[in-house]
Amino acid sequence: MGEAKRRADQGLPPRDKPRAGKSRPVDDSPRIAPWLPLTRNQANRFVAVTTKGAWIGIGGLALFWITVRFIGPAAGWWTLADG
């Protein structure tokens, strides 16, 4: 049974159709260069996402180093070659 038939059998009104442009706002910011299909908002968002990713990577590297250098040997998982 289709959606329209089910709604008609139950006495419900037809479903509203989604309006065009309602799902995503239009980016009206100026382009970086006329020949480049990137806007200023897209460039700023790219910088923000990559900066956050870099800080996550730095934090992960620090945590890995602390684990290898201190936590692992203290827990007896391995011994250090220089120690």
Q: In whole angstroms, what is the distance from residue 14 CA to residue 3 CA?
A: 9
Classify residue 29 as left (phi > 0), alpha (psi -120 to 50) or beta.
beta
Residue 22's pLDDT is what? 62
Three-state secondary structure string covering 28-40 = CCCEEECCEEEEH
Query: Tens digit of pLDDT for each residue in 1-38?
Result: 688 888 889 988 888 876 655 667 788 889 989 899 89
Residue 76 vs residue 2, higher pLDDT: 76
Q: In whole angstroms, what is the distance from residue 63 CA to residue 74 CA?
A: 15
| Range with lowest mean pLDDT among 13-22, 45-54, 64-73 | 13-22
